[in-house]
Amino acid sequence: MSKEIRKTTADGWECVHQFEQIDRSIESFRDTRYEISKCVRKSSTEDIIANMEFLAKDILEKCEQLRRKGIDKVEFVTINS
């Protein structure tokens, strides 16, 4: 199946603002990730698991929205303005 071609003057992913939303979700997990990766025990196991579940569900939901919008079938091509 061929992809839809969308021309954009943006050379990054700002043309798909949902990627920025996903990035913000990942960034919001930074403290928990630091705690896990640096073996700093501040949170309870219950809170860490809840944070990971929330992050996973949030990202999955946003990815499903992108698929419903057909973004996975789009190829973005940067053009000079």
pLDDT tens for each residue of 4-62: 988 888 878 888 889 999 999 999 999 999 999 998 899 999 999 999 999 999 999 99
Domain spans of the chain, in order of start: 4-78
Helix ranges (DSSP H) in the chain: 17-28, 30-37, 45-68
Residue 46, pLDDT score: 96
Residue 32: closest CA among 48, 49, 53: 48
pLDDT confidence bin for 1, thresholds 50/70/90: low
